[in-house]
A and B are shown apart, each in its own frame.
Chain A
Amino acid sequence: MRDRHLKYLLMMPALLLVTATVIYPLGYAGIISFMDWRLSRSRVPTDFVFLDNFWRAFFDDPSFLNSLGVTITFVAGSAGGAVLFGLLIALLLARRGRGYSIARTVLVLPFAMSPALQGTSFRFFLNPEFGIFDAVLDTLFPFLAHVDWLGSSGWAMTWLILTDMWHWGPFLSLMLIGGLLSIPSDTLEAARVDGASAWTSFWTVVLPQLMPVLAIAFVLKTIFSFKMFDYVYLLTGGGPGESTSTMTYYAFRMGFTAYDMGYASAIAFVLALLLVVVSAVYFRLLFPRGEAG
């Protein structure tokens, strides 16, 4: 068979599956973001209101603007944090030897844990009366003894990010360990012979070699951070105040507690648009010659 046909044939099943599933719901959601669809008044979308929903979001709804800021804070913190955490783990555990391979066994577990279980558990762990995290932290850092971990904006956001990092960091590290171990040992050897310290060889040899994997990990994590919902829902409920109310959580609130599906869709599409822009910029920066495809 000729490549000319083969290349499309190979791609076809995946493209068909994805488009067949996504086109309808996505199109539907896209259309209702331009419509008035309040479930409390009607079972089906009613009037075409053009940009009203988007106008309301940007010019008439401080809560939405707040959620935009919260989302950006969270994404920056958790994507950066998780990749850094992953890199740290990878550097520690990317060695040969039985002990290391047993230690690595642990890395899939946090990722495999259902966010529902993790979110609920972490909330208990942070309880100032019978939470294990609270107890341990109070013992290690007595000056933090009276902190109500989810009761102030700063700490609530910090724990949201830490929770997400705990889930993702180890998984990302698995990707990075693969990358680290595939750096030819003679390259490192050569650097050592040249008298480079571990520190300089990390910057000059390891990091550049690792860059493609790091980039993928970072983009992947950014997308998931933008979409993160479970931990806000389970840990903080967007609070205190609206200090951890991300866009996904706000869209959920508007759709499922305020019954306003039109507005919820509009918020979701703003988020999607934001993601398209951010990813496009990433792709440009990371793969300047368009080699990412």
Chain B
Amino acid sequence: MNSKTGKVMVIGGGIAGLTAAWELSRQNINVELVEKSCFLGGHSIGFTCKATDTCKQCGACSVEEMLANVVNEPLINVHLRTEVCGLEKKDGFSVSLAKSAVEEVAPQGVLKGFSHHNSPLYVVADGAADAPEGAVSIDTLGSEGAVDVDAVVVATGYTPFDPNLKGTYGYDKWDNVITGLDLENIIRENGSLVRPSDGEKPKRIAFIQCVGSRDERLGNLWCSEVCCPYAMRMAGVAKNADPEAEISMFYIDIQNSGKEFPVFYEKIKEEIRFVRTIPVDIYPLEGDSLELRHMAEDEGAPSSEQFDLVVLSVGIMPGMDTAKISEILNIPVNQDGFLDAVPGDSGVFVAGTAGGPGSIAATIAGAGNVALATMNYLGGSK
């Protein structure tokens, strides 16, 4: 029996941390859930539904549901805008918490949660004048001091690849070159897909896969696993909304999306054009459209095509806090920079994309696995 305080600390409030926290609380274990930003939900709470009238199993609504579970669970104590700055092993763990730096979590003015289950829903970073009703000042958020727990679950997540490292795509230069995450925000805010430069519906859309992933020159020798399913689902949504849209997907190898993939893939192949090549560069044309140059698959010769919108499928990179967490918690980092698995008897567990790429579905399953391992470490619930 390793349980002294009957408490577990979960670091990170994305889908991995939310799931681990909720599964532990379901077994009557108290959880201290620490989240660096002002809102629970991580990256995945910002993802939109990919149904084309029929569900495409993206899992975004599962995140919404898990967030609701967690905020309504009295056994889970949430610390927003808080990070871990130290850990002492003594008959369990004494974890030091500090308020996370404002400039890191709150770039400007009024911050809005992605889900109506976020509480608070609005956070004001610098005393903005037109704060919505119920907005909370960031100064009131954050926990400090030491918390004693029996075990720690690390679920600090990933960082999306910085598309500026692939300079020839001109992400920072051309308005209509966006990332998949940008596209999520556009759909969320507008209720439909429009391009940034003029708010018009794009007719010709390109998805470029493996931006930052599977890139030997960058030393990124891993597949991010989620981008092919993501881009195919998103392309399906775009095609469903506008059957006239011409959608192309530039890829190396198409990866599976989970159950029923062969059926889904066959159908999407009828709707969008798959081109097996990774484009070289992108140039602006008049009328805000873009010229994309690539090696034509069938001719083996350079070719160029025009698009109204180019979506970069940026990969899953190690979380920006991974090195720091690795040092504080003494967790080894693997050759790709993600956290390695920790021996089960150490009382420290790694869940979710902190340990490497994974879909929402895989992350939920993996976090359940970690919750059980944590319970077993504690020597049973209570």
Answer yes or no: are A and B bound together in one complex: no
Residues of B within 8 A of A (CB): none
